[in-house]
Amino acid sequence: MPHPSPLERVRIVLCGTTHPGNIGASARALKTMGLASLYLVSPKHFPAADADAMASGAADLLRTAAVCGSIDEALDGTVFAVACTARSRDLSHVVLTPRETGVRLIWEAARGPVALVFGPEQSGLTGREVGRCAAIGMIPTSPDYSSLNLAAAVQVFAYEVRQAAEGVVSYPQDAYDAANYGDVEFFFRHLEQTLYDIGFLDPMQPKRLMQRLRRLFQRARLEKEEVNILRGILSAAQRPIKRNS
Amino acid sequence: MPHPSPLERVRIVLCGTTHPGNIGASARALKTMGLASLYLVSPKHFPAADADAMASGAADLLRTAAVCGSIDEALDGTVFAVACTARSRDLSHVVLTPRETGVRLIWEAARGPVALVFGPEQSGLTGREVGRCAAIGMIPTSPDYSSLNLAAAVQVFAYEVRQAAEGVVSYPQDAYDAANYGDVEFFFRHLEQTLYDIGFLDPMQPKRLMQRLRRLFQRARLEKEEVNILRGILSAAQRPIKRNS
């Protein structure tokens, strides 16, 4: 069986888009770059006439778009995701340029589906949503005015993804079995519960620590087998407490 | 006197834009990349409320935009121009990717003002307009769907221009005095007239030959002194005919 083309493995996830015209214009931007996999997380209005109008010849992407209730649903099954944002964050995510994002996404796509995640027009992605991704993608802009239109940002990233994919005909056989989004999220929940159980997690500041741990493990790009090992360790750590309770 | 920054020397020329919203969206795209020099050749509707709305925080670029009656007016004073188009042409212009376009424009801008030229949404630039430019810029697209929105194309090229300009603090002293658009156009008119005078130009196919000669000399990036020499040669060639008539 031939491997899928890199571009087929790149999902575009638009979270909480306010203006349906921007969904349509984004679909058009994606189709010009050969991307077709569109996920919409809680769009404000969809389907909508404005979306169809702005999509022009790319209305087929709107018809096949997956409408999801949460970012977790949209990222399910992916092995790597980049949060596209205009603002730098307090906690140290790796920050990639669009060019680096394209190269990295196409590289990671050898292991499975990957995603580019965009937030709402005004507010951008929340810290929680960025925390679901392994890296931040940021477009270098003028210091005087950094407000790219959503579809314009989608066009720049999609352009760089296509640039990175040119020349990549197919992937080599996967060297190892990557843990996917669901596996890793299950591990994070197990980790958080265990940290409570063993009394390590500060109930006053639980999120900050978990964010740091998320970043650590997302950087590591876990394999399925490693997740199993880590969860085995967590279970072992929980056992004495459960026995005592 | 310090040299101007490279980005200050890059003009964006929009020819015959049909939808004012695209002018506004293009202005926004330009401002995010630190470009401010907008030229509008015979826009269908301008000024327009739609343009202001789509410009968002970049409405100042619309207020300072130069509205021109012809591409010659918009390119006056430039030393290098790239025609951005989605279609390949019959005659062999140099075709640059957006990345190459950015690098080349910033390089040429050391000699004087440069331009990126975009045509109307539906039809694109005419052959005559492309002939006014030294190279073609083309965004690599999916073979199935190549129809980028005008402002999206402007965003991609502007992004690459900014990428190319990063790190270029200022230009070295100009090594020689580049001929500008007006000098070169004056030379082309002189050349065409001379070719008629000496009976070389086929009156049935005058344009095709002139297009080839335009490309040849535009590739050469003429200096002012060279234009003077060439025009001296043309005058010398015309002299015997004028004496005889």
Mean pLDDT of chain B: 89
Length of chain B: 245
Best probe of the A interface among B35, B156, B161, B166, by most A CBs < 10 A, is B156
Average pLDDT over residues B114-140: 94
CB A195 within 8 A of CB A201: yes
With 0-12 / 13-18 / 19 or more C-beta atoms within 10 angstroms meaning exposed / middle / buried, residue B203 is exposed
Q: Does B136 score more than 80 pLDDT?
A: yes
CB B224 within 8 A of CB B187: no
Q: How far does B69 lie from chain A, in Å, by closest CA?
A: 29
The Cα–Cα gap between B96 and B101 comes to 6
Backbone angles phi, psi at B178, to 5 degrees: -70, 140
Instruction: List pLDDT tens digits, range B50-105.
Output: 999 999 999 999 999 999 999 999 999 999 999 999 876 655 678 999 999 999 99
Question: Which of A219-233, B16-30, B177-191 is predicted with the least confidence, judged by mean pLDDT?
Answer: A219-233
Angle of CA points A153, A154, A160, to nearest 5°:
95
The Cα–Cα gap between A104 and B11 comes to 33
User: What is each CA distance from B239 to A13, B189, B228, B235, in whole angstroms?
Assistant: 70, 17, 16, 6
Nearest to A142 among B33, B140, B152 (CB): B33
Best probe of the A interface among B30, B141, B155, B157, by most A CBs < 10 A, is B155
Of the two residues A194 and B243, the one the predictor is more confident about is A194
pLDDT grade for A168, boundaries at 50, 70 and 90:
low
Nearest to B156 among A25, A140, A155 (CB): A155
- Which chain A residues are Cβ-neighbours of B58 within 8 angstroms? 145
List residues of chain A with CB under 8 Å from any CB of chain B: 25, 28-29, 31-34, 56-58, 98-99, 139-142, 144-149, 151-152, 155-156, 159, 162-163, 166
Q: Does B175 score more than 60 pLDDT?
A: no
Nearest CA in chain A to B163: A140
Q: B31–A139: do the CB atoms touch at under 8 Å?
A: no
- Which chain B residues are Cβ-neighbours of A101 within 8 angstroms? none
Q: How far does B77 lie from chain A, in Å, by closest CA?
A: 26
Q: How far does A3 lie from chain B, in Å, by closest CA?
A: 19
- Buried b vs exposed e over A124-141: b needs ≥16 C-beta within 10 Å? bbeeebbbbbbbbbbbbb
- Which chain A residues are Cβ-neighbours of B31 within 8 angstroms? 142, 144-145
Nearest CA in chain A to B25: A149
**Which residues, at least 6 apart from A190, have a Cβ–Cβ distance to it below 8 Å?**
A231, A234, A235
Complex ipTM value? 0.79
* pLDDT in the model for residue A88: 66
pTM exceeding the 0.95 threshold for the entire prediction: no
- Which chain B residues are Cβ-neighbours of A84 within 8 angstroms? none
pLDDT grade for A1, boundaries at 50, 70 and 90:
very low
- Which chain B residues are Cβ-neighbours of A151 within 8 angstroms? 149, 152
- Which chain B residues are Cβ-neighbours of A159 within 8 angstroms? 98, 139, 156, 159
pLDDT grade for B48, boundaries at 50, 70 and 90:
very high
Q: B166–A25: do the CB atoms touch at under 8 Å?
A: no
Nearest CA in chain B to A154: B152
Of the two residues B205 and A148, the one the predictor is more confident about is A148
> HEC states along chain A?
CCCCCHHHHEEEEEECCCCHHHHHHHHHHHHHCCCCEEEEECCCCCCCHHHHHHHHHHHHHHHCCEEECCHHHHHCCCCEEEEECCCCCCCCCCEECHHHHHHHHHHHCCCCCEEEEECCCCCCCCHHHHHCCCEEECCCCECCECCCCHHHHHHHHHHHHHHHHCCCCCCCCCCCCECCHHHHHHHHHHHHHHHHHCCCCCCCCHHHHHHHHHHHHHHHCCEHHHHHHHHHHHHHHHHHHHHHC
Query: Of B181, B145, B224, nearest to B13 (Cα)?
Result: B181
* pLDDT in the model for residue B76: 95
